[in-house]
Amino acid sequence: MTFRDGLRAARSRIIIILGLLTSIGIIVALEQVQSQKGSSMLVYGGSSGNAFLSTSSSAQFTIERTNPLPSPTATPLTADEQEYARIAWRYFENNYQESTGLVNSVDGYPASTMWDTGSYLMGLISAYKLGVISEEVFAKRMKSALQALATLPLFDNELPNKSYNTLTKAMSNYDNTPTERGIGWSAIDIGRLFVPLNIVMWQYSSFAPEVRQILARLRFANVVRSGNLYGAQVGDSNRTTYPQEGRLGYEEYAAKSYSLMGADVSQALKHDDFLTFVSIDGVQVPTDSRSPDRYKAFNYVVSEPYILDGLEFGFDNISREFAYRVYAAQERHAEASGKLTAVSEDNIDSPPYFVYNTVFTAGKAWNCITDKGEDVSRFKSLSTKAVFGWYALYQTDYTKRLVAAVAKLYDPQKGWYSGLYEQTGQPNKAITCNTNAIILEALAFKRFGTHLSLLR
């Protein structure tokens, strides 16, 4: 066969290849045009060298920087930080239920959610890594907790209920009243639980049989569908309904752990499907455009999901940028208002007992509301867990000031308080599993780096 004959024989394949190359060129060109339309500029300035950010409202964006974002390397804890960790662990000494292996969500209150159970396991792992507890204590407690999770009654025989009595392991309402059927599940809370379960499988494999026993009972057909996350609740006529669950920040955080478990959460992992930016104290902050009126859920912009993403998974390129914008808005607000700012949702020590201190929600910056949308601005506070989380991730001059402001917010026999009220300057004396666990997580991150990273 001559060269010319060969070309004739291969002409169909050549045409296909040329067509593919042309298509790729068109797609790349269109993406560049779209990125330029929604471009974002990140400019560093100010005495502390922090990032001042601006962007269009487009969901597509590029980032131009003159300096990288803060990325502290792992460093040994100071003597003060070692004591901070020991104080945090005291919560788990006081609130451990020997009979079940579970831990109370709030000091002295025998109930827990899957979110708080996940936090307890993260606190347990962190305390062991930091040398706060012995290997014997770690092994005993981890085995007991995993055995409890393997024997909890499940809502509709599918997934863990939203709340359990820690003394009996019985399903309960949020007021800890027993309920035989349960009240539903939270996809986000279960996603939180999967984080320590993944760590246990990879880093403490002697407990792998217990983790497999837990997972073998669970049924995921109704919690993950078409790439999205769905909660469950008891509706009219005692029928189970499945509302979509998760907003920007929490949705992506929880979806990452489902992804590690092999679930298709491709839609929940997307950042740009409902993304918009709101200018807050000169910073363009990423928010979820789904309105509470239409979608029946608030779009809280708070510190916690971004902090946990960084501490546990290590930021991806998008969450790194979004987290820093959420942090930078708080630093800039402190500069403008003269009030130290680090906000998140928190238990409080008086009615309504739980509030959302936000960077943005329900169309308003620095909004403090209940889960029903009631204004509770009198409970605006500096969040202890947010302080330690941002400090571990960035260690800027501002985060060091934050730690100094909360350094005495604890009961030495009970653990860390949840925060400091803005209006009165008095401590928010709620003492919780989540706050003390995140403090331990943050300190372990400062010492060892990302919790789920296997490649160092």
Instruction: Count CA within 13 A, CB hemisphere, residue 442.
Output: 27
The tokens for 82 are: 């070692």
Region 225-254: mean pLDDT is 94
Which tens digit of pLDDT belongs to each residue from 408-447?
Answer: 999 999 999 999 999 999 999 999 999 999 999 999 999 9
Q: Reply yes or no on whether the pLDDT at 11 is more than 60.
A: no
> What mean pLDDT comes out for the span 92-106?
98
d(CA 1, CA 322): 60
Q: What pLDDT, on the 0 to 100 scale, is given for residue 237?
A: 85
Confidence of residue 453 (pLDDT cuts 50, 70, 90): confident
- pLDDT for residue 70: 77
pLDDT attached to residue 209: 97
d(CA 265, CA 254): 10
- Give the contacts of 218 (CB within 8 A, at least 6 positions apart): 154, 158, 159, 160
Mean pLDDT of 207-221: 97
Burial 342-364 (b: 16+ CB within 10 A, else e): bbbbbbbbeeeebbbbbbbbbee
Q: What is the pLDDT of residue 68?
A: 66
2, pLDDT greater than 80: no
344-365 per-position pLDDT tens digit: 999 999 999 999 999 999 999 9
297 pLDDT band, cuts 50/70/90, is confident
* Secondary structure letter of residue 133 according to DSSP: S
pLDDT of residue 48 exceeding 90, the answer is no
**Which phi and psi (to 5°) does residue 376 adopt?**
-135, 50
Q: Say which range, 25-39, 132-146, 210-224, 436-450, has the weakest mean pLDDT.
A: 25-39
Q: Is the pLDDT of residue 140 over 60?
A: yes
Q: What is the rounded distance in angstroms from the CA atom of residue 340 to the CA atom of residue 53?
A: 20
Q: How much is the pLDDT for 428?
A: 98
Global pTM?
0.86
- Is 106 strand, coil or helix? strand
Q: Mean pLDDT across the chain, nearest whole number?
A: 87
pLDDT at 7 over 70: no
Q: Which of 172, 200, 185, 184 is nearest to 104 (CA)?
A: 172
For the segment 68-82, the average pLDDT, to the nearest whole number, is 88
pLDDT-based confidence at 455, cuts 50/70/90? low
Measure the CA–CA gap between 383 and 340, rounded to whole angstroms. 10
Taking residues 117-123, report their average pLDDT. 98
What per-residue confidence (pLDDT) applies to 367? 96
Confidence grade of residue 393 (pLDDT, cut at 50, 70, 90): very high
SS3 379: helix
Residue 25 — pLDDT band, cuts 50, 70, 90?
very low
Alpha-helical regions (H) of 264-396: 292-295, 304-308, 317-337, 384-394
| Predicted confidence (pLDDT) per residue in 152-203, tens digit | 999 999 999 999 999 999 999 999 999 999 999 999 999 999 999 999 999 9
CB atoms within 10 A of CB 78: 10
Query: pLDDT value at position 429?
Result: 98
Per-residue pLDDT at 39 exceeds 80: no
CA separation for the pair 397, 391 (Å, rounded): 9
Q: Taking 50 as the threshold, does the pLDDT of residue 248 lie above it?
A: yes
Secondary element (H or E) of residue 147 = helix 135-151
